[in-house]
Structure 1
Amino acid sequence: MMSHSSALTRRRLLTGAAALTVLPACAAQVPSSSIATSSEQEIGGVPLSQIVDGYGLIEDAGYRLPPVPPKYLQGMNRRAYVPYRGYEPAGTIEADLHAKLLYWIEPGGMAWRFPVGVGRQGLSMSYDTTIKRKEQWPSWTPTQNMLRREPEIYGEYAGGVPGGLANPLGARALYLYQGNRDTYYRIHGTNDLASIGNSGSAGCIRMFNHDVIFLFPKVPLGTKVVIRDYEDSVAIEGAAVANRGSELPPTYVPPEELYTAAAESGPPQFGTAPNVESFGY
């Protein structure tokens, strides 16, 4: 993978490590009639009336993903089934890294559109790839290039970070290859909710965990991933969307904090919970 330093931030760690307790709720653009009262039940800090369809509580492989607070799901920053206006055939993933959007193209001129976050090195990606590996709750190890380039940051992670809620790759990862060569680019989940729709100083193509879980079973091995160029992004999405988002700065997280969060995020046992999302697998 080219880089995941943006996934290793204090902000992201706190989002992942605190995911089982409290996440901020936001009533932005929520009708006054649905604003929670003090007695309304909450899940992960989000009042039931404010949970957005498709982004509620998920129990997956023993992990519990809380709802995504609605403040992160404004405008284009949620998945949608839309008419596809690009040029690729059905069964293709098209990533628009300028507009921070990813399309899974289906027959009949339609596509699932997902918001993504992308790092500066991801923005430099301009070639087509193929998905040759898929993992659920993947582990993560920094590449040799990362260790050489920034040993003061990545050296202590050389042994890898186990899969779980605190892992930089999130709930799912799709591994991108050219021929038989691993490009070290990934399409993967993230706990850094604020990064979606924006770019960071480093990183691959990041999705809400809810979205990458939704996409994962749809995409078979051998799927082609096409990168949309800037001119096509402007022509298809418009100049404003093709330039949306801002670049977020990285923040270093001490490795002992990351490893502690990863160890504490192992699969627990849960009883029945309300409003649990199901994706049919």
Structure 2
Amino acid sequence: MKRRIFLTAAAAAVLSACTKKPPKAVEVLPSPAMQLLPARYGAITDEPFPVPAVPQGIVPPELWRQEVPNPYPDQPAGTVIVDPDQAFLHLVQQDGTALRYGVGVGAAGFAWNGDSVMQYKRKWPRWTPPDEMVARRPDLEPYSIANGGMDGGPGNPLGSRALYLFQNGVDTLYRIHGGCEPQYLGQAVSSGCIRMLDQDAIDLFERVPGGSKIVVLPSLWKEGARGIF
């Protein structure tokens, strides 16, 4: 399966719905046989905040954004399907194809599943950790709901874009957002949200209008069918 392994130390890693581990000091130089990242993963300089280029050699090719045959022909064009076990997000297109994005999920990524609606979306969104999270992490108090949250920009766990998922008119507190550090793409290192590279989050944001259908598939791992995902 994919290279994401549900670590037994997940309790330490999944501190919040959208928080991330500190970045690793990773330096990987491309070898002659290494596939170089497409230009779409280069630095973005025309945003309110700079988006750095994705380093070479960190993200495997199967997690790059790419057009693939649509694996969900029963879903109408424009539907987004998230498969937490496979670390893929598919956007169904009109012509029998889908855009596939690699994502990162959290230990709670399989705790919620079902059909939802992307009620709204935000560029460089504010992040407001819920009170329960602040109780576990007093260091987040400056960004609590009462204090107005964290401004968008570098260091904000939601990254460059966020899509907000509602079910039956109620906020699921489930987000699809940017800010995923490349070394964690395809892994389960946080709790709750679906995380994307900022370059991919920006691309998806432009393609998905408000009111779009979002399907989050159940995790087979949760049902005991898989020990890794």
TM-score range for the pair, normalised by the shorter chain length: 0.7 to 0.9
1:51 touches 1:67 (CA, 8 Å); kept in 2?
Answer: no
Q: Which residue of 2 aligns with 1:166?
A: 155
Corresponding residue to 1:26 among 24, 29, 33: 29
Please report how far the alpha carbon of residue 182 of structure 1 lies from its aligned counterpart in structure 2 after TM superposition.
1.0
What is the letter of the counterpart of residue 118 of structure 1? V
- Please list every run of 5 or more consecutive structure 2 residues that lacks an aligned counterpart in the other structure: 1-14
Q: Which residue of 1 aligns with 2:181?
A: 192
Q: Which residue of 1 aligns with 2:16?
A: 3
Q: Which residue of 2 aligns with 1:133?
A: 120
Distance 1:90 1:163, change over 3 A: same
Corresponding residue to 1:92 among 79, 103, 110: 79
What is the letter of the counterpart of residue 167 of structure 1? N
Please report how far the alpha carbon of residue 166 of structure 1 lies from its aligned counterpart in structure 2 after TM superposition.
1.3
**In 2, Cα distance between equivalents of 1:220 and 1:113:** 17
**Secondary structure class of the residue paired with 1:131:** strand
**In 1, Cα distance between equivalents of 2:158 and 2:127:** 7
Corresponding residue to 1:66 among 52, 55, 59: 52
**In 2, Cα distance between equivalents of 1:156 and 1:229:** 35
Corresponding residue to 2:205 among 192, 216, 223: 216
> Percent identical across equivalent pairs?
34
Q: Which residue of 1 aligns with 2:167?
A: 178
**In 2, Cα distance between equivalents of 1:130 and 1:171:** 20
1:82 touches 1:111 (CA, 8 Å); kept in 2?
Answer: yes
1:52 touches 1:70 (CA, 8 Å); kept in 2?
Answer: no
Higher helix share goes to which structure? 1
Summarize deviations over 1:154-190 as a string: whole Å, max 9, x none: 3343232110021100000000011221111100001
Summarize deviations over 1:12-57 as a string: whole Å, max 9, x none: 8x8xxxxxxxx845314x448x9xxxxxxxxxxxxxxx55331012
1:177 touches 1:183 (CA, 8 Å); kept in 2?
Answer: yes
Summarize deviations over 1:219-267 as a string: whole Å, max 9, x none: 0000011122346xxxxxxx99x954xxxxxxxxxxxxxxxxxxxxxxx
2:180 touches 2:195 (CA, 8 Å); kept in 1?
Answer: no
Matched, 1:117 2:104: yes
**Secondary structure class of the residue paired with 1:58:** coil
**Secondary structure class of the residue paired with 2:23:** helix
- Please list every run of 5 or more consecutive structure 1 residues that lacks an aligned counterpart in the other structure: 15-22, 35-49, 232-238, 245-281
Distance 1:138 1:60, change over 3 A: farther
Summarize deviations over 1:181-208 as a string: whole Å, max 9, x none: 1111100001422221001242400000
User: Which has the larger Rg?
Assistant: 1
What is the letter of the counterpart of residue 124 of structure 2? W
Q: Which residue of 2 aligns with 1:264?
A: none
**In 1, Cα distance between equivalents of 2:165 and 2:111:** 15
